Structure 1
Amino acid sequence: LCFRDTVNTVYLSDYLEQNLQVLRQWRNNSSAYDWKPTIKVIKRSEGCSPATDEELNETEEKARAAVKRGGIMYANVHDSPVVPGLKDRQVDILVTIFTLESACQTYQEYRQCILNVVRQLRSGGRIVIGSVLEDDSYNSGNQVMFSLLSLTEHQILDALGSAGIDLDSVKKYVLNDDGVLFLMATKR
């Protein structure tokens, strides 16, 4: 949704088949789930005034069309290529939000996964990462949803630099109270 006005083609990927199925249902407009509240949050974070239902539908359809031009594909950050369906193609923008720290158990494994991901990004392309900082679990209320590899901002940046990301290009936003880092950077 966030890149609907920026790119023509979007590829969505996930490791779990049930998540891929949810994405396919959304793409095919056959999902019973109402995405409007999520779209409202995204539009609000983009600085838009409260959107009408028609505007929300237009936003969703624009995003859906970009995904239809691209695709929905299996991904495994431990493999290279991460998204085998892309074959040898590299992408212009790669987004991973709260994924890598939940897929890895050691820092060395994390570094390898970052390298695998960055290999599918073209030189000059942008990577956008959202990551939990210095926490070993993701919680919803009192319930632990899944375990995380506890990472510092320094470790994340070091792994990115080693994988070919230009650290001078990093733009970051850290929510210290929430232990969350968002960053965007360019591949050398």
Structure 2
Amino acid sequence: MASIDKKKIFQPKDYEKEFDPEAYLQFYYSSKALDDGTRLSLFSLPMFAHIIHQKLPANKRVSLIDIGAGPTIYSAISFRDIVQRIYLTDYVDKSLTMLEDWLYARTSFNWEKAIKVIARTEGVHLKNDKEVNEIEEQTRRTVENGGIYKADVRTKDVLLLNSKDPKPKDKQFDIVVSVFCLESACSTHEEYVSSLKNVLSLLQPGGYLILGSVIDDVIYNSGFSQVGDSKLFSLLNLSEEFIEEQFVKEHMNMESLHKYAI
């Protein structure tokens, strides 16, 4: 076996070619992964959804955009009944295809276990498959109301719209979610600062940002290849202090800051 320091570590420029969304889902969100204890954001997002539901009236939490969702739908599941429109975005075309396959029920990936974990975090015990399916269908409807779009946090407008894309109903959003995206997409701290500004430009005044970050690490395993090798991608090394400094510089309301460590 090769040690980690001798393994190839892919960079942000390699995502379109090297990232395997199916392997990623199997590694982090399959029934086996969740049974083995992988939880990632499945605990924290329902908690933030509950906070926002309590703090914002319905007319102030209409739209949500997930920047860098990858092939995942856990943010949409968590906010399915909190907002009216959910937009899922990613840079990798293969991930966008998987999201569209899920939206139109063409996907082979089973989200049942993740739905049950999120429901339990919400205090709901799902009794049967019908109740699981009802949550998934409600999630689909909310995403249908929004859409699936290509995005690049390193560009000023973030959303990469082409002539065939339906125009989003919203230019800015009441809730912006971005989990494990910026540190994956950026190679330098200067690029991170610029990308964070771009993401924040999508936020409505008075809206909420939910930012999930990997702290003090420089690589992550995106899953295993067909021959069983782990595929490692670089992460920009971040500290909690650095991230909060950027929030202050962007004049965000630090009194409303909530932290959740996983």
Output the TM-score relative to the length of structure 1.
0.86
Q: Aligned ranges for residues 106-121 of structure 1 at < 5 Å?
A: 106-121=188-203
Q: Return 5+ residue gaps in structure 2 as ranges.
A: 1-76, 162-167
Task: State the AA in 2 paired with 1:89.
Answer: K
Q: Is the Cα–Cα contact under 8 Å of residues 43 and 51 in structure 1 kept in the other structure?
A: no
Shift of 1:88: 7.3
Q: 113, 124, 130: which is aligned to 1:48? A: 124
Task: State the AA in 1 paired with 2:192.
Answer: Y
Q: Is the Cα–Cα contact under 8 Å of residues 114 and 160 in structure 1 kept in the other structure?
A: no
How far apart, in 1, do the equivalents of 2:189 and 2:84 lie?
A: 35
1:159 aligns with 2:241: no
Q: Give the structure with the higher percent strand.
A: 1
Structure with max Cα Rg: 2
Of all paired residues, the percent bearing the same amino acid is 39
Total equivalences in the alignment: 175
Aligned to 2:218: 136
Give the match's secondary structure for 1:13.
Answer: strand
Q: 119, 138, 142: which is aligned to 1:66? A: 142
1:171 aligns with 2:258: yes
Once the two structures are superposed, residues 69-101 of structure 1 have per-residue CA deviations (whole angstroms, 9 ceiling, x without a partner) of: 110001000001112444971000011111110
Give the match's secondary structure for 2:208.
Answer: strand
How far apart, in 1, do the equivalents of 2:154 and 2:251 lie?
A: 18
Q: Is the Cα–Cα contact under 8 Å of residues 136 and 147 in structure 1 kept in the other structure?
A: yes
How far apart, in 2, do the equivalents of 1:12 and 1:79 lie?
A: 17
Task: State the AA in 1 paired with 2:135.
Answer: T
How far apart, in 1, do the equivalents of 2:173 and 2:81 lie?
A: 17
Relative to structure 1, is the Cα distance of residues 145 and 37 closer, same or farther in structure 2, using a 3 angstrom cutoff?
A: farther
Task: State the AA in 2 paired with 1:174.
Answer: A
Q: Kindly report structure 1 stretches of 4+ aligned residues shifted beyond 6 Å.
A: none
Shift of 1:46: 1.9
How far apart, in 2, do the equivalents of 1:36 and 1:70 lie?
A: 22
Aligned to 2:8: none
Output the TM-score relative to the length of structure 2.
0.63
Give the match's secondary structure for 1:165.
Answer: coil
Once the two structures are superposed, residues 114-152 of structure 1 have per-residue CA deviations (whole angstroms, 9 ceiling, x without a partner) of: 100000101001010111100001136994531100100
More moved, 71-80 vs 85-94: 85-94
How far apart, in 2, do the equivalents of 1:112 and 1:10 lie?
A: 24
Aligned to 1:32: 108
